[in-house]
């Protein structure tokens, strides 16, 4: 336990030694020394480390009694000298308190930290990403016999399962109808076996053939598919097992 008390004892001894030095020196040497310490805290307040600033403040607090003792000693040590020393202590500590309040003004202006939530609030707080209600847009199937219009321009001309777009691209084995997404990125075609779909992502030039899936609706440009009226629809990346794709 002795080694734990040593830092506190050393700090107390340093304070007593500092007071004794100022009490022995003439007051007209103590005063410029204390004023220089006060000036350093004001001029170097943003450069001084926290430990150094605290050390200077401690030197001012405990150095003032030493200087006042030297003052009363120089005045003769009588009752009038002690009265002058007490008046000096009142004025000195008032100025010192004002100086420290001015130096700590930024700490008082700092907004208080928000209170940390209690555990019931944490337990009831939602976790994970916010939920989004998805309202699927209905599918508009266009019979291939009516030369379906392409949102990207032109019409789709089909003959005997072979369809040709205005861009010159072709798809085969097409059944009775096709559907486009709103902007035309996706072309969905029913195939001749009536149990499969061809999904063509024309933006990425990728084609997918899905068997026993039905096009249920659109979420923006994303096709959603299902296996029946009672089954929950899924986005295409989930159907393909690629949930990270958009």
Per-residue pLDDT tens for 102-141? 766 665 555 666 677 666 666 666 666 677 777 888 999 9
For helices 27-43 and 79-103, give the axis angle rounded to 10 degrees.
10
What pLDDT is recorded for position 198? 92
Q: In the structure encoding, which two tokens stand for residue 40, read together?
A: 């350093």
**Domain assignments of the chain as residue spans, ordered by start:** 2-109, 142-240
What pLDDT is recorded for position 243? 58
Report H helices in the chain.
Answer: 2-24, 27-43, 50-74, 79-103, 105-109, 119-124, 236-240
Q: Are 59 and 52 in contact (CB under 8 A)?
A: no
Q: Which residues are CB-contacts of 238 (< 8 A; sequence separation ≥ 6)?
A: none
Among candidates 219, 221, 222, 195, which has minimal Cα distance to 209? 195
Paired residues of 143 in beta bridges: 177
**Which is more confident, 72 or 49?**
72
How would you classify residue 128: left for phi > 0, otherwise alpha for psi between -120 and 50, otherwise beta?
left
Per DSSP bridges, beta strands 186-191 and 206-211 are unpaired
pTM of model > 0.95 = no
CA–CA dist 170, 181 (Å, integer): 18
Q: What are the pLDDT digits (tens) for 14-31? A: 777 777 777 778 877 777
Q: In the structure encoding, which two tokens stand for residue 128, read together?
A: 């994970």
Q: Are 162 and 169 in contact (CB under 8 A)?
A: no
């Amino acid at each position: 336990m002795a080694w734990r008390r040593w830092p506190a004892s050393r700090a107390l001894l340093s304070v007593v030694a500092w007071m004794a030095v100022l009490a022995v020196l003439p007051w007209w040497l103590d005063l410029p020394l204390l004023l220089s310490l006060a000036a350093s805290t004001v001029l170097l307040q943003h450069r001084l480390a926290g430990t150094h600033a605290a050390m200077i403040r401690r030197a001012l607090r405990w150095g003032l009694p030493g200087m006042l003792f030297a003052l009363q000693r120089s005045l003769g040590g009588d009752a009038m000298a002690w009265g002058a020393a007490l008046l000096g202590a009142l004025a000195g500590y008032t100025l010192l308190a004002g100086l420290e309040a001015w130096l700590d003004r930024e700490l008082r202006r700092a907004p208080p930290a928000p209170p940390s939530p209690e555990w019931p609030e944490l337990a009831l707080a939602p976790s994970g990403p916010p939920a989004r209600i998805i309202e699927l847009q209905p599918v508009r199937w266009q019979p291939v016999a009516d030369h379906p219009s392409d949102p990207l321009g032109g019409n789709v001309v089909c003959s005997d399962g072979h369809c040709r777009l205005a861009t010159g691209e072709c798809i085969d084995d097409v059944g009775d109808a096709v559907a486009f997404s709103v902007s035309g990125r996706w072309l969905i075609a029913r195939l001749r076996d009536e149990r499969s779909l061809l999904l063509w992502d024309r933006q990425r030039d990728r084609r997918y053939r899905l068997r026993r899936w039905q096009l249920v609706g659109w979420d923006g440009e994303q096709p959603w598919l299902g296996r029946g009226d009672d089954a929950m629809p899924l986005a295409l990346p989930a159907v393909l097992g690629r949930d990270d794709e958009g």
